[in-house]
Structure 1
Amino acid sequence: MSREGAEYALRARADERDRISGDLLDLESHTTYQLLKGSNLRGATQQRWVAAQAALATLWGLYDAYRSVLRDAEQIRAGRGRLGADELAELTALLAGRSVVLKAAAKPVEQRSLLPEADERLTMDETVTRMDAAFREVTATLTDIDAAWNACLPRLDDADAQLRAIHDLQVELGESLDLTQVETDLKRLRGGAIEDPLGSPPSAAELDRIARLLSGSRTDLERALQVKREYGRRREDLVAALDRVRAAESEARLAHGQVVAKIALPPQASPRSRAEDLAGRLDALDLSADTWLNRSSRLTALEGDTAQALQQAQATARALYGLVSRRDELRGRLDATQAMAVRRGRAEDRAAVQAYEQARVLLWSAPCDLTRAADAVDLYQRAIHGGGR
């Protein structure tokens, strides 16, 4: 090397040493590295971590040998203001030659021989390349473990938070759910995630199942607590809703009484009352010694059934009155078709007259058979239109 080349190489190696030192310090202060140092690992993760630790030990050994050579080079340069030929030759040998000595590792006695083990000599560039390979092996292990933890630990933390919230709700409600199996499963999954994230991570399906179960349990408790707080008001609302059901069912019975005299109805068209059955369920709920968890579902179901009964009674009344409207509409169609027959000069047609009379008798009979009457009106229209519509 020239004097300028040696000066440049020495400065470059010093910068390289400082950068490598910073990277090594960052590695050992990495959160995942610190967690792994104190963890009881097993399985695939333990195997990867043992290999990573070996790579890290090799890395530090290489770094110490590299730094020792560089320290010798810096001492030579600091000894004189201007490098002489001898100093330049020494610097060149250190910076460009195979100056990094790796002592032969001690072997178990069964692997030794009586011949001395040769030390390995590397250039500084070769040493940096080996350090980089070891560094990458360690960081790859940390990256894989960190990714596995990030995939499951937040979800496990969420599940634990749900459990704490459920516990608080149970205390407030004064009732509890049996979540022993869930707690056991969570403990097992967290153990696998911490001790062997690469080999025994919780599956997404297991985490989904627990999340659904905890979410459902929390919802049940919140609903039960809400029912406990609001039972008096919701009971009053139910009593009022039952009164509306009775009124709507009374209207449906009135409609049936009026319509059955005019329109032929099947037996199943008679309105059925649900109000008393619903009222009986409310009384049973009042007298129940059941838990609020069960009472909340019963109350919610009763509220839904009451709303459905009201809609059904109202729809029944509308449908019954609609049958009379349907009869009146058919009467209007019959009259309109007869007027058309007169305009077309077909009012006296024998087939048309017979069809008209049949439809008229059906529509003005009580009770009216709507199905037969509608068919008769259609038959009359076809007769007037010459077989078409």
Structure 2
Amino acid sequence: MSREGAEYALRARADERDRISGDLLDLEAHTTYQLLKGASLRGPTQTRWAAAQSAIAALWALYDTYRGVLRAAEQVKGARGRLGAEQLATLTELLSGRSVVLKAAAKPVEERSLLPQADERLTLDETVARMDTAFQQATDVLTEIDTVWSAALPRLDAADAELRAVGDLRRQLGESLDLTQTETDLRRMRTAVLEDPLGSAPPEHELERVTRLLASTRADLERALQVSQEYGRRREELVAALDRVRAAESEARVAHGRVVVKIALPPQAQPRSKVDALADELDALDAAPGTWLDRAGRLTALEQGAQQAAQQARATATALMGLLGRRDELRGRLGACQAMAVRKGLAEDPGATELYERARLLLWSAPCDLTKAAQAVDLYQRAIHGGGR
């Protein structure tokens, strides 16, 4: 190695040493590394982390020896402006030869031999490569653990916060909601994540199940709390809603009475009242000693039932009155077809006349069978247009 080459190599190795030192310090400062140092681990995580710790210990031993060789090289270089031949040879040997000496490790007596154990010698490049392998082994484990923790722990923290919120709401409402199993599940999952993230982390579906359960329970309790605060007002609004149902059902009955004498209706067309059953449910809700959680669900169901009953009654009245409109529309079609028959010279045609009279009789009879009347008008219309019977 030339003098210039040796000096350049020494500077490059010094930069390399500083970079490796920074990487090692970053490794030890890593949050997951610090947490693992004092953690109680088990299972595959314990096995993997023990192997990683051995790799880190070997890495530091290699680094100390590597740094000692560079220190010796820097001492050879010293402050000399120009290296002598002897110093250059020594520096070359340190920088490019097998200058890193690893002492033979002490073995248990059952693994020993009476023959001398040879020390291992490495070049600086081989030492750096071996350090890198150990570094990658350690960081791979850290990355895997950190990935699991980063994914699971925030969600477990959120679930714990949700559990506390549910507990506060439960106490505020005086509910006897049993959260023991959920608390147990969360503790078990957290312990598994912390102690064995690589082997016992909870599956996604289990964490999702607990999260959904807590969110649903909290929503129910918040709804119950709101009902407890608004019950008086909402009850008055429900009473008014029942009055609207009565009015809509009365309108449907009136429409049925008007239509049934003019239009033939099946028995199921008779409007059925729901307001009495809803009113009875409201009375039962007032008298019930149940919890607010139960009362909230029943009150909401009553409000929805009242709204649907009013809508159904109004729709029934509209549909019934629409039957009169349908009859009048058929009467109009029949008149238009008769006028067309006159223009076509078919007014005296016996066949057409018979079809007309049949349709007219059906449409002007009470109660009118709309189905048969519509069929009769269609037959007459086809006859006028040349379709025959």
- Rounded Cα–Cα distance in structure 2 between residues aligned with 1:320 and 1:355: 28
Partner of 1:369: 369
- Rounded Cα–Cα distance in structure 2 between residues aligned with 1:125 and 1:261: 107
Tell me the SS of whatever aligns to 1:141.
helix
- Rounded Cα–Cα distance in structure 2 between residues aligned with 1:388 and 1:38: 98
Question: Where does 1:1-389 land on structure 2 (aligned, <5 Å)?
Answer: 1-78=1-78, 80-387=80-387
Residue 14 of structure 1: how far off its partner (Å):
1.4
Structure 2: unaligned runs, 5 residues or longer: none
- Rounded Cα–Cα distance in structure 2 between residues aligned with 1:314 and 1:349: 46
- Rounded Cα–Cα distance in structure 2 between residues aligned with 1:197 and 1:314: 61
Query: What is the letter of the counterpart of residue 98 of structure 1?
Result: R
CA displacement 1:136-165 (0-9 Å, x = unmatched):
111111111111212211211111111111
- Rounded Cα–Cα distance in structure 2 between residues aligned with 1:169 and 1:192: 28
CA displacement 1:36-59 (0-9 Å, x = unmatched):
111111111111111111111110
Which stretches of structure 1, 4 residues or longer, exceed 4 Å deviation after superposition? Answer: none
- Rounded Cα–Cα distance in structure 2 between residues aligned with 1:176 and 1:122: 71
Residues 199-208 or 70-79, more deviating = 70-79
Structure 1: unaligned runs, 5 residues or longer: none
- Rounded Cα–Cα distance in structure 2 between residues aligned with 1:273 and 1:301: 17
Query: What is the letter of the counterpart of residue 128 of structure 1?
Result: V
CA displacement 1:332-358 (0-9 Å, x = unmatched):
111111010000000111111111111
Residue 19 of structure 1: how far off its partner (Å):
1.1
Residues 304-313 or 366-375, more deviating = 366-375
Tell me the SS of whatever aligns to 2:121.
strand
Query: What is the letter of the counterpart of residue 154 of structure 2?
Result: P
Tell me the SS of whatever aligns to 1:106.
coil
Tell me the SS of whatever aligns to 1:312.
helix
- Rounded Cα–Cα distance in structure 2 between residues aligned with 1:289 and 1:197: 48
CA displacement 1:55-74 (0-9 Å, x = unmatched):
11110111111111111111
- Over the aligned positions, Cα root-mean-square deviation in angstroms equals 1.3
- Rounded Cα–Cα distance in structure 2 between residues aligned with 1:93 and 1:321: 110
Tell me the SS of whatever aligns to 1:128.
helix
Query: What is the letter of the counterpart of residue 147 of structure 1?
Result: T
Residue 387 of structure 1: how far off its partner (Å):
1.5
- Rounded Cα–Cα distance in structure 2 between residues aligned with 1:4 and 1:367: 119
Structure 1 residues 276 and 124: CA distance shift in structure 2, 3 A: same
Query: What is the letter of the counterpart of residue 26 of structure 2?
Result: D
CA displacement 1:185-210 (0-9 Å, x = unmatched):
11111111111111111111111111
TM-score computed with the length of structure 2 as normaliser = 0.97
Residue 2 of structure 1: how far off its partner (Å):
2.2
CA displacement 1:220-262 (0-9 Å, x = unmatched):
1011011111111111110111111111111111111111111
Query: What is the letter of the counterpart of residue 270 of structure 1?
Result: Q
- Rounded Cα–Cα distance in structure 2 between residues aligned with 1:285 and 1:40: 54
Identity of aligned residues (%): 73
Residue 80 of structure 1: how far off its partner (Å):
4.3
- Rounded Cα–Cα distance in structure 2 between residues aligned with 1:316 and 1:19: 84
Residues 247-256 or 145-154, more deviating = 145-154
- Rounded Cα–Cα distance in structure 2 between residues aligned with 1:183 and 1:349: 89
TM-score computed with the length of structure 1 as normaliser = 0.97
Residues 80-89 or 353-362, more deviating = 80-89
Q: Aligned residue pairs: how many?
A: 389
- Rounded Cα–Cα distance in structure 2 between residues aligned with 1:95 and 1:372: 110
Tell me the SS of whatever aligns to 1:360.
helix
Tell me the SS of whatever aligns to 1:273.
coil
- Rounded Cα–Cα distance in structure 2 between residues aligned with 1:289 and 1:172: 17
Query: What is the letter of the counterpart of residue 202 of structure 1?
Result: P
- Rounded Cα–Cα distance in structure 2 between residues aligned with 1:79 and 1:208: 67
Query: What is the letter of the counterpart of residue 169 of structure 2?
Result: L
Residue 81 of structure 1: how far off its partner (Å):
4.7
